[in-house]
Chains A and B, each alone.
Chain A
Amino acid sequence: MATLQLSGVCKSFGTTPVLHDIDLDIGEGEFVVFVGPSGCGKSTLLRLICGLDTIDSGTLTIDGEIVNDVPPAKRGIAMVFQSYALYPHMSVASNMGYALRLAGTPKAEIERRVEAAANVLRLGPLLKRKPRQLSGGQRQRVAIGRAIVREPNVFLFDEPLSNLDAALRVDMRAEIAALKQRLGTTMIYVTHDQIEAMTLADRIVVMNAGRIEQVGSPLELYRRPANRVVARFIGSPRMNLLPGALVGDPAAAEIGVRPEHVRLAGVGHGLAGTVRMVEHLGSDLFAHVEIAGVEERVVARLDGGREVHVGEAVSISVDADTSHRFDAQGKRMAPAHNDRRTA
């Protein structure tokens, strides 16, 4: 386990700045997830932490020691790559023991640690196989096993589940969560999948355009997003944004409402709209409502048993205590004091 601090970290590729003044403290044994849209710099930040790219300015400290110029292998870090990056010509056992072999670890010790990691990840029968003889999920487990064998102080995961199909992703997510409980090692995990972020993270770091937008626990980000970027990125389906003036709050530029907080009623009970699409998910139902003056359709999350039909005229209303106010710059505003907003 290790602590990790990033102070004023900047990175550019050529003349293109990629990361701006990143400050972040990660505690011992914490599971921190970097999320953000593609190209926001989350993978670059992970590579800087790992030492695969150099930091232009600022400092990276691991356990109180500045490691900007320390090579990757000496940072006590192990990384699981998006493509798994297994060595195709080596067996599973050789893949897992490679780092130890390079470090000059005795053969018996390598075998012991590989076997122990293989048992944890149920890779025992596969140790002699080559990566091409494994399924996607098995390859992923080997990649994790390769990291575990090194007994690192910090684990880095770069979108490790993005190449797996949906069912396998759920299984592997559970495995990573179990691993987190078992090892208790500091873990940094990059993903653009917010469900992974919400289910795995102790804290989530939301990034956008090379900057950290907000750091907090999953529920904190969900309930109190610092700005409209975070509000729109966390939550699925994403938060609805309505013009403040339209819902009776002209002081706010926009009012954000989670789909589960949108109330759907008959005509005359709020903002008038028309249902344009209905998605039945069994337990839930998503109604996409078109409202005049609102750019995007408003999504309402309803009970799965409710009857809603495409083309139906409806009204929507929102509560002040479950909605979020944003100013013209997209920053969060203090709550207003009227108790219900309608049209």
Chain B
Amino acid sequence: MSVAPARALPSSPPVSRLAARGGLKAGERRVGWIFMVPALVAFTAVILWPFISALGLAFTRYDLRTPEPIFIGLANFRAILASPQILGSFVTTFVFVTLATVFTVAVALAWALILNQSFRGRALLRTATLIPWVLPATVAAFVWAWIFNSRFGVLNAALLSMGIIDLPQAWLSTSAGAMTAVVITKVWISVPVTTTFFLAGLQSMDREQIDAARVDGASDWHVLRDHIMPHLRPVLLVVLVLAVIGNLQQFDKIFALTGGGPVRATTVLSIEVYRLAFDSWDIGMAAAVGLLWVATIVPPAFLYLRHLLKDA
């Protein structure tokens, strides 16, 4: 019996390290770089160069008395460490970001669970949920400023009519009231998009899994804890990281609602940088605080990018 000689398989082209991520084959990288050039030029011009310039300013004295930046090393950072006001704005930022993130995620999750049920008018409610999101941020802030207004705000009117308070309260004139107001405003604006994330996650869930859990004896709480939350975990991670980044960057709503007051009660890092740069015209200090501000955003951004690349 003769045996046919084994035919050599056609050799496949060498594969680059990026192939595991669906990247380019060897020999195609040069073409890839050519395609990337326009994006790299635009990125360098509008993001990288301004960022590096600002980074450089953080190590200079550059204010109304110094027409040109003067290199002073780490002096700005030492000044920051010695300034209770600026350190206070880090604490304020931490409080604001924590409260706004936790309440946004909690309210959006609860709202998504409601909107995921079958009931008459669900489509209308889902559409109406997006209204806060389509409003311009400053308009939303002024709406809430009016709601919290001590003299003619609807919050006071409602609480007075229900007998919960005896006298109108100046909500935006106390530290706790102002922080509460900015957190509520931010949560109100952020809930629609966050709800959409959760709703998308819920709709991708196998309904039969919930049915199976019911047959196994799961209560509503068990279904939420043992099935819905594990299913939503990837969505929750993305939502948390995006919310932290968005809240760390928050400026317009807080500025429109309280201007950072009363007495710095809502002066988060973004407001601090704005004041240093455009009230005090201390660009060097503003850049130094800005650099630290960016540093606070890096860890959540890193987590987010790692999550994205892991799934890519």
Contact = CB atoms under 8 A, between A and B. Distances in A.
A73 B216 contact: yes
Contact of B211 (A71, A85, A87): A85
Interface in B231-273: 231
B230 A89 contact: yes
Interface string B212-223: 111111100010
A99 B216 contact: yes
A136 interface: no
Contacts of B215: 50-52, 72-73, 77-79, 99
A102 B208 contact: no
A82 B208 contact: yes
A73 B215 CA distance: 5
A47 B208 CA distance: 11
B206 interface: yes
Nearest to A74: B217
B230 A102 contact: no
Given A83-B206, A87-B226, A89-B230, A102 B217 contact: yes
A196 to B, nearest CB: 20
B197 to A, nearest CB: 19
B212 A81 contact: yes
Contacts of B211: 47, 52, 79, 81, 85
Contact of A83 (B208, B216, B227, B230): B208
Nearest to B216: A99
A205 B206 CA distance: 29
A146 B227 CA distance: 16
Contact of A87 (B209, B214, B217): B209
Interface string A25-47: 00000000000000000000001
Contacts of A85: 206, 208-209, 211-212
A150 B230 CA distance: 24
Contacts of B214: 51-52, 71-73
A140 B218 CA distance: 21
Interface string B20-34: 000000000000000
Contacts of B209: 85-88
A81 B215 CA distance: 11
A102 B217 CA distance: 6
Interface residue tally of chain A, by bracket? 20 to 34
A98 B227 CA distance: 11
A236 B206 CA distance: 33
A47 B207 CA distance: 13
Interface string A54-95: 000000000000000001111001110111011111000000
Contact of A103 (B206, B208, B212, B217): B217
A88 B234 CA distance: 14
Contacts of A98: 213, 216, 226
Given A87-B226, A87-B227, A89-B230, A99 B217 contact: yes
A73 B217 CA distance: 5
Contacts of A74: 217
Contacts of A99: 215-217
Contacts of A47: 211
B222 A102 contact: yes
A102 B227 contact: no
A74 B217 CA distance: 8
Interface centre among B206, B216, B226 (most CB of A within 10 A): B216
Contacts of A89: 230-231
Interface in B184-229: 206, 208-209, 211-218, 222, 226-227
Contacts of B230: 88-89
A87 B208 contact: no
A79 to B, nearest CB: 5
Interface centre among A73, A85, A102, A146 (most CB of B within 10 A): A85
Interface in A12-35: none
A82 B207 CA distance: 11
A102 B225 CA distance: 12
Given A50-B215, A52-B215, A87-B213, A81 B208 contact: yes
Contacts of B218: 73, 102
A146 B213 CA distance: 11
B212 to A, nearest CB: 4
A201 to B, nearest CB: 23
A77 B211 CA distance: 13
Contacts of B206: 83, 85
A161 B179 CA distance: 58
Interface centre among A98, A146, A150 (most CB of B within 10 A): A98
A85 B218 CA distance: 14
A216 B133 CA distance: 60
Nearest to A143: B212
Interface string A136-164: 00000000001000100000000000000
Contacts of A88: 209, 230-231
Nearest to B218: A102
Nearest to B222: A102
Nearest to A50: B215
Contacts of A146: 212, 216
A126 B28 CA distance: 43
Nearest to B229: A89
Contacts of B208: 81-83, 85
Contacts of A72: 214-215, 217
B172 to A, nearest CB: 45
10 contacts: A71-B214, A72-B215, A73-B214, A73-B218, A79-B215, A85-B208, A85-B211, A87-B227, A98-B213, A99-B216
Closest 10 pairs (CB-CB, A-B): A73-B217, A99-B216, A85-B212, A85-B208, A89-B230, A102-B217, A81-B208, A72-B215, A85-B209, A83-B208
Given A52-B215, A146-B216, 7 more contacts: A81-B211, A83-B206, A85-B206, A85-B212, A86-B209, A86-B212, A99-B217
Interface of B: 206, 208-209, 211-218, 222, 226-227, 230-231
